[in-house]
Structure 1
Amino acid sequence: MKLLAVLVNYGDEQLSYLEQVVAALKRFKKYEVTVIVQSNIPLEIEGVDIVNVVVLNNYQLLPLTCRKEIWKRKDEYDVFIYGENDHLFLEKHVDKHIEYSSFLPENRIPGLIQYENDGGDFYYVGYHSHFDWDYDSVEIHNGKKFAYFSNTHQATFILTKKQLEKVGNTINFEKLIRYKPFYLYNNFANSIRKKFKKPIVEPFRYSLKCKVNTDVYDFGGMKKVICISEFEDNRIHHLPNLYIEGLKGRRKLNSDEDRMRFALQKMLKN
């Protein structure tokens, strides 16, 4: 199968992570992998097939150029990956995505969840603030259990050609979705509204960079679900491990392994 991976890079601070990500992609054995990097600076990294140096007034929109590059090449590949330069794709991520997509309903799409690891425990950077699992969302498909996690951001996406076409028929794949009132589109907001018996009208805002992947999951016509019965296969490593200690201004997040383990046990039991 032909696989296109389009990665975003800004500056030279994280080039060591980009090198790891590209090397891992090029080690895939079942896929013919092409790697394109959208960058604001020239790059010479082994394994990168194309570097597109992009000049923008607002570099928060640099990740969006990855979606444009994917859409331009939608007829040339079977599987498509978007990723930030510090998220480590493994071949099993693609294997599992294709496997799950073969039996999930067409209005479901398999996703990943980010983690950091300091050599000991795992930390889940998206599992903070009000974000949580929807404990009533557990579904069984082909003997495997899936559930919905309210933070759809994972700094990446994987799409089959069929899924890419479905998203592209639902939204303009080359543009970001304009924000809508929180209560109009977010299931988690609706649950909060019912609990407190009042409307939530503030928009729930992912950053422009985050929306490059969250738009796909929130507006692309498919509900993102994560396979919880094979949870370890569906985690993706955020290589810098910045959130564990709150380095470089990142807020230290309450997302430890015990909290995740308890949530998974609860859902799998139910």
Structure 2
Amino acid sequence: MNSGITERKSLRLLVVIASYGTANNAYLDRVIQEYRSMSFDVDIVIISNIDKRPAADVECIVGLPNKNPWSLPFAHKEQFVARADQYDIFIYSEDDILITEKNIRAFLDVTSVLHEDEVAGLMLVEKASSGELNYPQAHGSFHWDCTSVKIRGDYCLAQFTNEHAASYILTQQQLARAIASGGFLVGPHEGKYDLPCTAATDPYTQCGFKKLIPISNIDDFSAHHLPNKYINRLGVDRQQLDAQLSVLMQIAREGSNAVPLFSAETRLWHGMYSKDYYEPARDEVLSGVPEGAVVLSIGSCSAANERRLLERGHRVVAVPLDPVVGSGLAQFGAEVVLGDVTTAPAKIATEHFDRLLYVDVLQFVRDPAYLLRLFSGLLAPDGKVIICAPNRPSLRYAWECAKSGKVFRPWGTFEAVGIHDTTIGRIQRWCAEAGLVIEKIERCGSKRTGPMLQLLSPILATDLIVTAKRHEAWKPFFRGGHEMERMEVSRRSVAQ
């Protein structure tokens, strides 16, 4: 266990704040005011591209690590290394993150029960004028890792896959470990995250630490993102967060072996093309579901499609990517089937469905044809499979690569990057191998029309919508109802 810090009256904190330009000066003043109100002995250093010294006792260091303005946050590392033996606590943050004494005391308390490679982290929160709370880190592919739940002392902790909270806190002992790892004092770089985010996440991504958020005490580990600019744009509200935390804490209490259906995150630049856990409803998919159809949604997340179907009066059964996102599906009335690709099909082996939905999931499994065949035995006689997948590679991919300066970077194998190309040819092959016959393929994503745009649709379209049915000669992969004797083969074939 980490021995933590024996608190004394003169506990010393070094706070380094990255502040570029003048746009956030009002937030910076509020942040400094908060640190000045603390009962600790706090030294504040601002790193900036311009000289800004809001108070005589605040140090300002001017200069960028390189010519890229976004490299500024990396300048905090030299300050930490140079003063590593002078302080008990080291805090880095951007200039609009309000960390309170309550946050720091909670950090000190939980640190005493953590393992040496574990660091307690913060969750960002925003506050609407109505009092509603928004947690903006929950967007895109970022989600709670249902396999990460831990009990440490009186705390229940879990990992959120978005380690970036525009800030972090380390003890002197933890900073020394980070420096010794060789991954801390490095030049500006990016990979999973962009430059400023990488500067705030290197302790977790490069120095061997696991960032654990004490979900049982989430308010003590929530830091206010002062601009509140993501409300109604991205993130989850407090009700959604509480539902997810409730599932995680239940997993911890029961000691259950929670597993995801499969991973849906890529190892591409900045996690490009990973599954969007908060995706909107897809009208082009739902238009293929006739009135009264019973629907099975495989690999579901946000509940947007399922909720729309429930509102239309459909019976909806969902096999979510993991039990945490499944809590939202159940809340709206979907019947949720939990498990991995081995156990989930067995639980509904005697059911029949009019539509099977695979919305942006097939590309994330090693053997998509096997996953298609695994569930196609649940189709009603006239049932259809609807597949939605990115039109990849496409002009969008080339553009994203060009923006990152990686336009000529090879795509790589599935084993290397965790994702397949989803061209029409590949989807046709997967369907054929699964005993499915394609009825139609639609290209979606561009609302513009015209002969030239139609000609360019293979590279301009962002998505492909495929409708298929079982081949007349199709035979069940598994026979005898629940006799799933080839389950282990299934698990190995589908899982990454």
State the distance in 1 between where 2:209 and 2:163 align. Answer: 12
| Alignment partner of 2:207 out of 217, 220, 223 | 220
Question: C-alpha displacement at 1:219, in angstroms?
Answer: 2.0
Q: Which residue of 2 aligns with 1:261?
A: 242
State the distance in 1 between where 2:188 and 2:159 align. Answer: 21
CA RMSD of aligned residues (A): 1.6
| Alignment partner of 1:67 out of 54, 77, 84 | 77
Per-residue deviation, residues 48-105 of structure 1 (Å, max 9, x unmatched):
5211121552111111001111111111111100000000010111111111111111
Q: Matched residue of 1:51: which SS?
A: strand
Q: Which moved more, 1:120-129 or 1:157-166?
A: 120-129
Trace 1:127-138 onto structure 2 (pairs within 5 A).
Answer: 127-138=138-149
Structure 2 residue 24 is the aligned partner of structure 1 residue 37 = no
Structure 2 residue 227 is the aligned partner of structure 1 residue 240 = yes
Question: In structure 2, do the counterparts of structure 1 residues 123 and 176 end up closer, same or farther at CA, with 3 Å as the change threshold?
Answer: farther
Aligned AA (1:232): D
Trace 1:1-270 onto structure 2 (pairs within 5 A).
Answer: 1-29=11-39, 31-46=40-55, 48-55=57-64, 56-119=66-129, 120-176=131-187, 205-245=192-232, 252-270=233-251
Q: Matched residue of 2:85: which SS?
A: coil
Question: C-alpha displacement at 1:172, in angstroms?
Answer: 3.8
Question: C-alpha displacement at 1:47, in angstroms?
Answer: 6.6
Question: C-alpha displacement at 1:39, in angstroms?
Answer: 1.0
State the distance in 1 between where 2:225 and 2:138 align. Answer: 14
Aligned residues: 239
Question: C-alpha displacement at 1:239, in angstroms?
Answer: 0.2
State the distance in 1 between where 2:115 and 2:185 align. Answer: 25
2:98·2:225 contact (CA, 8 Å) conserved in 1?
A: yes
State the distance in 2 between where 1:168 and 1:177 align. Answer: 16
Question: C-alpha displacement at 1:36, in angstroms?
Answer: 0.4
Per-residue deviation, residues 205-251 of structure 1 (Å, max 9, x unmatched):
30111001111112211211010111110001110011115xxxxxx
1:11·1:41 contact (CA, 8 Å) conserved in 2?
A: yes
Identical counterparts, % of pairs = 32
Structure 2's unaligned 5+ residue stretches are 1-10, 252-496
Aligned AA (2:227): P
1:37·1:48 contact (CA, 8 Å) conserved in 2?
A: no
1:89·1:236 contact (CA, 8 Å) conserved in 2?
A: yes
Structure 1's unaligned 5+ residue stretches are 180-203, 246-251
Q: Matched residue of 1:50: which SS?
A: strand
Q: Which moved more, 1:10-19 or 1:41-50?
A: 41-50
Question: In structure 2, do the counterparts of structure 1 residues 176 and 216 end up closer, same or farther at CA, with 3 Å as the change threshold?
Answer: farther
Q: Which residue of 1 aligns with 2:299?
A: none
Aligned AA (2:231): I
Question: C-alpha displacement at 1:143, in angstroms?
Answer: 1.9
Q: Which moved more, 1:168-177 or 1:207-216?
A: 168-177
1:22·1:47 contact (CA, 8 Å) conserved in 2?
A: no
State the distance in 1 between where 2:90 and 2:22 align. Answer: 25
Q: Matched residue of 1:63: which SS?
A: helix
1:8·1:37 contact (CA, 8 Å) conserved in 2?
A: yes
Q: Greater relative contact order: 1 or 2 (C-alpha under 8 angstroms, separation 6 or more)?
A: 1
TM-score by length of 1: 0.84
2:189·2:198 contact (CA, 8 Å) conserved in 1?
A: no
Q: Matched residue of 1:261: which SS?
A: helix
Aligned AA (1:165): A
TM-score by length of 2: 0.47
2:20·2:48 contact (CA, 8 Å) conserved in 1?
A: yes
Aligned AA (1:267): L
Q: Matched residue of 1:5: which SS?
A: strand
Q: Matched residue of 1:21: which SS?
A: helix
Q: Matched residue of 2:180: which SS?
A: helix
1:108·1:223 contact (CA, 8 Å) conserved in 2?
A: yes
2:137·2:235 contact (CA, 8 Å) conserved in 1?
A: no
Q: Which moved more, 1:233-242 or 1:44-53?
A: 44-53
Aligned AA (2:205): D
State the distance in 2 between where 1:254 and 1:150 align. Answer: 14
